[in-house]
Structure 1
């Protein structure tokens, strides 16, 4: 019999040091989780079980406020650099004082002075605060005979004083990180950026058994799916605007993330920046403006890792995952991270089966001045005998959805293949100047019945006439970026200047073959007619996106005021070609400038951050294809979406909240019937309020989620016919509440619960069709223990606990998507 040692709790970043007393969250923070659950319809049982917490002491000054830190071991200068960045203070230091010294890091809750004291313990150094609020590093005792204090060269360490590529530490509870990548500005702390951002960690991905990026983003109240659950493509809606699977970034670069599903096994973070981000990331390949979703690949940690996982998903999907990480060298400069995963078997869709294979490797080098990384992955997904589908309706009556898992497309099949490699690097030209560059390529190929999976013009009885679409196609991407980041001071003002350039080339081809129509019913599906093989795809489009950006983040009053200003010049070049003759059919070449302005103010110390921003997004302008129009063939300039946002962030060290109000307007093309011309005067305007919360309410209780209220209006439509209508696919209320509870009387056991709520929404611009709201409940548990000296975690969860059937949302004007049936997930992870 194997020996089982006492259980161990789930691995969590410590929120405080056991030897240093830390303030507890306020009663308001302790009430956030239960209030969120109550708002979304969860029972009060879990909320009642949460312990009440004492009021924190008032914070009078940044240096006196306690804050939770988790600074990794490393060289002393790195540790001090990261600590000063997290604390939001400036540190002047002579590099000779820290040369050759190592640090064990810092974990716990400290005031700024206590943190410096702990980091410098035994180093023969001290940090002294000056009258201007900046800190200076000095020897504990001045050299004998020294009559005056030495004048040290000012080496500024601040929230932007470390590598812009350095990964922010996890926040208390470990589900969300302290910061995320802000496009060309690099990684930044959540309290220092004038945007609403979230970064979901690998720990959250593993504990929630999230197999794709879509599974991760269920946690975010600003994000919803626009394709049916289980579809081979995952598309999203952020703040009510579409973001397609093509628009995901990999390590800050577009055109390199997997098309279709984005598997999570090789992903360390899934980052979401809400709202347009043209200055920060450039124009997305498909022109999505609702936000930026960035995937951060895994890196080898300082400790060796050999982790093997096995999982099961109903109906009979079995999978395995190997995660291997090692570092080499005297200072562990070289890292290797390998991830391999496979899954095969039947799905929740009646009669359908899927197979997926993934192989990924991440190599990195971290030297004193040079840092390099190379990521490569190959991902293949096959579907057999069916596909999730979408439906439109013949009149104002929206038919009720069929039983979840109903398969309208038996006999269809499809395959997606992604292969990519990305090389990145940064080099410190001087202490305050860093050059960076990256280049990557992706080859994507698709074939089979993977698009056009819909039931059109469904009657109230459920009957419709269907067709199937057999496709073949490809997209080859080449993406590159380069730039320089510099830190400087002009008197009392600090600067982080960034000059960057990007280029993305996309070459694509597609061909499609359509079947004859056939009669079917969503409640009693007929066997579909399958379209024949379309042949190999010819080249049909070629796009080049180039841009140059300049930005400066100015800091005042000891980092209490941060002002970011910048502009990006973007050029969009697109050519299209006939799929039959190969002749060029269109040539698009337009440019645009997209500015941005952001402000962060910390009037009450580092726990509070007030922010505002104005930023623009960019989409390719339309071409008039109506041959009867007076301006047939006219090409419009790129569309500029505009966002105005303001908000407040509150960080207690254990609970973080963001409350924001926003307005995003997006133009579009419309027709003036009186003049028989098209123009770019169409517009959709979304206004809303968002609240996000994450962290731990108590040592054993963690919360994740939020609520979004959105009012989406069509403000300019053709002939004014739909002016004032609600934009389709923009529900007024969306919310997510997830709780985790480590049972105190049974160490190692964690109970989990989640509620996902979406209110009613219109599914067409005419506002003649709408679907009711819905609520999904999930529940689960995990148990962590040591078996024969090895850490083992068992996880079990059920999604859509009540097995309800509902239309979840919309895909394009007039089409609805359906939810997945009740789904069981089981997994076991062993660390060797």
Structure 2
């Protein structure tokens, strides 16, 4: 874990990288904003290949280091740790290598020691970024978010070099806030809201007014491999949110990913050995623990293993419900001079009994008051979700101009029970409803893969990073359901008799999402201007089956989506202005209305468009992003008459908005994280033109989050935290007759970190929904008037120790 007392200069490091064709000397140029070479600095470089050590030093100390490529190949640099000047650091790195370094200002030349041959190779300058495409970006000041994130096929980029609104939440934030799932992390993001009631078995999201489902999370940019349901974060180093469509960079998400992409970056073993154990409690009676073990091996610590485990069991805040969760992951990685590779495997299982949360479906404009979320509407419900996956990745750098990468993974997902479809339907003004229960049995197998080649070269004064990228995701689904109904009241529920589960689950569908893309990022004027151009060709092939195995639907269409984005730094590395035009993709619909004039017509994939302008600026460890965006999504609508309609894909939902994100240290020991979003969601063209101009479902005008942390100056290691998030009112139906009121929630936390017997000890206490407000938190669907319910007051405490 990075110390929050590390220098602001290091945390505000701005970066740039391009490659030029040549042989001989290599020059590593880093960015500005760090101490002068003559000043002592904090150095913490592990033993590693010499070329990597010089590369990291160049980035950290704002140097341009030139060296003979052939002379450093195969050499190992020793570990260097402490307070040293640049020259002292270089002397230690080069000790015993037969090489020496001369320092002139920020320019460094590495060559053979005088006693050796004076023969030299031709000098060619090649610049290097502070973050290589496969290198994890460092944390920003405050440690809550990172200074960069993964942009699909382009790899990891600095936030200031990324022409999108992107936020990467760190493992430090996950630990400090004691987050257990992805949803616990994304409560920090003002552009994200949730579309399932708290405690539901699935965590679905809405980003920029468009849905992102639990099955659409990516791992290292690949879809179809993340745990389904509650995605645990014990094995996660970063949770990244890229706002807006991103088909160009990662291919099409299974559900389209219109509002954005949520990417998970698995943990890797750090240079220092780690063993951490924690015990936790959550009201009303959840007890559990976690373990995190990491170690590196080899003469240069090139081999690493990281193991994470979690287990919890007990009663929850939902009256009468108990939950059990078990999770285990193992990550192996290799970090060589030219080759980096990893293998991740995990097992995730969650089960519950004694009830499940409801979704609230209204039949009247008179919305009854939100019930206490502890009330159990389906107290005889039970269910289980299980995900198992194996994921492998590798990247090989042939030279500084050409590299290749490949990834592949398999995930099996099994589910059974009343895991969704538990609706309180047709709720009237006094809370009476018809309950619907759906018993489910099924599974889904996913095979995901990607491959690409990345080239770096120069043409005149322009540096290029050209990426050719291919993806493939194949999924096969099996499922079966049973259902029944009952009558009840949301304030005084009955105890329903749940329907029996299916005994078999036949194959119901298979799909293949395949694509290739060509992306060129061009840098001008010393990387003051970065222009990205790209095209992706996406094919969507799906087949549906009935329970007898007969084909009931066939879909095979493709589309080409272009994208263009630009970043300009007119006043140096501290300010970036950006703009983008990107297209996303989602599966086109089929006409299933037998009365339609175009019955069984299959539409090509929908092209979603985003236009965005934004600015990013960073001042002394405190950063902001402001963006203005418009996203339009085609929809299937009926025109003509209701008895003989004609369906077209010319319907449209449009969301325009302004976003502001902020993070970092405003003053020493005080950190802020959050922002606000203003949106105008409009249904521009609807079925029979009935709701044209109406406000889009689930699109509040305002929503915002703001969290703060304060390290108390008079108690070392003690931190207080607080967070408020709120949304204004929103509509549940397209006709704008059903509206739920705005809401706000306040959270509080405290933690204390000390050392006992030389070991780190941390104690955390968190209270969510401090004032125990009962409220409808949002909407579930654009097509049905379903509201979700916020969480009750929840208290959690954790004690952890590192060995």
TM-score, structure 2 as length reference: 0.92
Q: How far apart, CA to CA, are the structure 2 residues paired with 1:567 and 1:750?
A: 48
Question: Are the counterparts in 1 of residues 67 and 110 from structure 2 also a CA contact under 8 Å?
Answer: no
Q: How far apart, CA to CA, are the structure 2 residues paired with 1:148 and 1:436?
A: 36
* Structure 1 residues 23 and 203: alpha-carbon distance in aligned structure 2, compared to 1, 3 A threshold: closer
Farther off after superposition, 740-749 or 143-152: 143-152
User: 2:491 — aligned with what?
Assistant: 523
User: 1:627 — aligned with what?
Assistant: 594
Give, in angstroms, the shift of residue 698 of structure 1: 2.1
Give the alignment of 1:423-502 within 5 angstroms: 423-502=392-471
Give the alignment of 1:18-33 within 5 angstroms: none
From 557, 568, 575, the equivalent of 2:536 is 568
From 332, 347, 353, the equivalent of 1:378 is 347
User: 1:617 — aligned with what?
Assistant: 584
User: 1:54 — aligned with what?
Assistant: none
Question: Are the counterparts in 2 of residues 613 and 645 from structure 1 also a CA contact under 8 Å?
Answer: yes
Q: How far apart, CA to CA, are the structure 1 residues paired with 2:232 and 2:260?
A: 20
- 1:102 equivalent to 2:71? Answer no
Write out per-residue CA displacement over residues 649-693 of structure 1, whole angstroms, 9 at most, x where no aligned residue: 112241111111111111110001247210000111111111111
Question: Are the counterparts in 1 of residues 33 and 62 from structure 2 also a CA contact under 8 Å?
Answer: no
User: 1:304 — aligned with what?
Assistant: 273
User: 1:240 — aligned with what?
Assistant: 209
Give, in angstroms, the shift of residue 636 of structure 1: 0.2
Question: Are the counterparts in 1 of residues 268 and 305 from structure 2 also a CA contact under 8 Å?
Answer: yes
Q: How far apart, CA to CA, are the structure 2 residues paired with 1:14 and 1:506?
A: 47
From 237, 248, 267, the equivalent of 1:268 is 237
Q: How far apart, CA to CA, are the structure 2 residues paired with 1:442 and 1:140?
A: 50
Q: How far apart, CA to CA, are the structure 2 residues paired with 1:360 and 1:509?
A: 26
From 94, 101, 125, the equivalent of 1:125 is 101
User: 2:327 — aligned with what?
Assistant: 358
User: 1:604 — aligned with what?
Assistant: 571
- 1:256 equivalent to 2:219? Answer no
* Structure 1 residues 372 and 145: alpha-carbon distance in aligned structure 2, compared to 1, 3 A threshold: closer
Q: How far apart, CA to CA, are the structure 1 residues paired with 2:370 and 2:238?
A: 35
Give, in angstroms, the shift of residue 15 of structure 1: 3.4
Q: How far apart, CA to CA, are the structure 1 residues paired with 2:279 and 2:178?
A: 11
Structure 2: segments with no counterpart, 5+ residues: 14-29, 95-99
* Structure 1 residues 273 and 513: alpha-carbon distance in aligned structure 2, compared to 1, 3 A threshold: same
Question: Are the counterparts in 1 of residues 63 and 107 from structure 2 also a CA contact under 8 Å?
Answer: no
From 511, 518, 541, the equivalent of 1:543 is 511
Write out per-residue CA displacement over residues 567-611 of structure 1, whole angstroms, 9 at most, x where no aligned residue: 1110000000002x1101111000001111110111111111111
3-state SS of paired residue (1:461): coil
Q: How far apart, CA to CA, are the structure 2 residues paired with 1:551 and 1:704?
A: 33
Give, in angstroms, the shift of residue 87 of structure 1: 8.7
* Structure 1 residues 444 and 115: alpha-carbon distance in aligned structure 2, compared to 1, 3 A threshold: farther
Question: Are the counterparts in 2 of residues 88 and 559 from structure 1 also a CA contact under 8 Å?
Answer: no
- Paired positions, count: 771
Question: Are the counterparts in 2 of residues 62 and 605 from structure 1 also a CA contact under 8 Å?
Answer: no
Question: Are the counterparts in 2 of residues 91 and 155 from structure 1 also a CA contact under 8 Å?
Answer: no
User: 2:611 — aligned with what?
Assistant: 644
Question: Are the counterparts in 2 of residues 469 and 512 from structure 1 also a CA contact under 8 Å?
Answer: yes
Give, in angstroms, the shift of residue 72 of structure 1: 5.2
From 49, 53, 78, the equivalent of 2:52 is 78
3-state SS of paired residue (1:467): strand
Give, in angstroms, the shift of residue 782 of structure 1: 0.4
* Structure 1 residues 408 and 87: alpha-carbon distance in aligned structure 2, compared to 1, 3 A threshold: farther
- 1:15 equivalent to 2:6? Answer yes
Write out per-residue CA displacement over residues 409-449 of structure 1, whole angstroms, 9 at most, x where no aligned residue: 01110000100000111111223211111110000010001
Q: How far apart, CA to CA, are the structure 2 residues paired with 1:256 and 1:664?
A: 27
Question: Are the counterparts in 2 of residues 663 and 686 from structure 1 also a CA contact under 8 Å?
Answer: yes
Give, in angstroms, the shift of residue 645 of structure 1: 0.7
- 1:577 equivalent to 2:545? Answer yes
Q: How far apart, CA to CA, are the structure 1 residues paired with 2:43 and 2:622?
A: 15
Farther off after superposition, 192-201 or 644-653: 644-653
Give, in angstroms, the shift of residue 341 of structure 1: 0.8
Write out per-residue CA displacement over residues 493-542 of structure 1, whole angstroms, 9 at most, x where no aligned residue: 11111111111000001111011x32100000011131112121100000
Give the alignment of 1:748-759 within 5 angstroms: 748-759=717-728
Q: How far apart, CA to CA, are the structure 2 residues paired with 1:64 and 1:473?
A: 55
* Structure 1 residues 107 and 690: alpha-carbon distance in aligned structure 2, compared to 1, 3 A threshold: farther
With CA pairs under 8 Å and 6+ residues apart, which has the higher RCO, 1 or 2?
1
Question: Are the counterparts in 1 of residues 11 and 621 from structure 2 also a CA contact under 8 Å?
Answer: no
Tell me how large the CA RMSD over aligned residues is: 2.7
Q: How far apart, CA to CA, are the structure 2 residues paired with 1:343 and 1:145?
A: 63
Write out per-residue CA displacement over residues 533-576 of structure 1, whole angstroms, 9 at most, x where no aligned residue: 21211000000010001101111111111111111110000000
Q: How far apart, CA to CA, are the structure 2 residues paired with 1:687 and 1:119?
A: 51
Write out per-residue CA displacement over residues 249-272 of structure 1, whole angstroms, 9 at most, x where no aligned residue: 011110000111100111111011
* Structure 1 residues 107 and 572: alpha-carbon distance in aligned structure 2, compared to 1, 3 A threshold: farther
User: 1:553 — aligned with what?
Assistant: 521
- 1:278 equivalent to 2:247? Answer yes
Structure 1: segments with no counterpart, 5+ residues: 1-9, 25-60, 109-113, 130-134
From 789, 798, 802, the equivalent of 1:827 is 798
Give the alignment of 1:29-428 within 5 angstroms: 63=32, 73=46, 74-82=48-56, 93-96=67-70, 98=72, 100=75, 102=77, 120=90, 124-126=100-102, 137-139=108-110, 151-159=122-130, 162=132, 164-428=133-397
Give, in angstroms, the shift of residue 467 of structure 1: 2.3
Q: How far apart, CA to CA, are the structure 2 residues paired with 1:483 and 1:264?
A: 28
Question: Are the counterparts in 2 of residues 414 and 449 from structure 1 also a CA contact under 8 Å?
Answer: yes
User: 1:34 — aligned with what?
Assistant: none
Give, in angstroms, the shift of residue 137 of structure 1: 3.9
Give, in angstroms, the shift of residue 166 of structure 1: 1.1
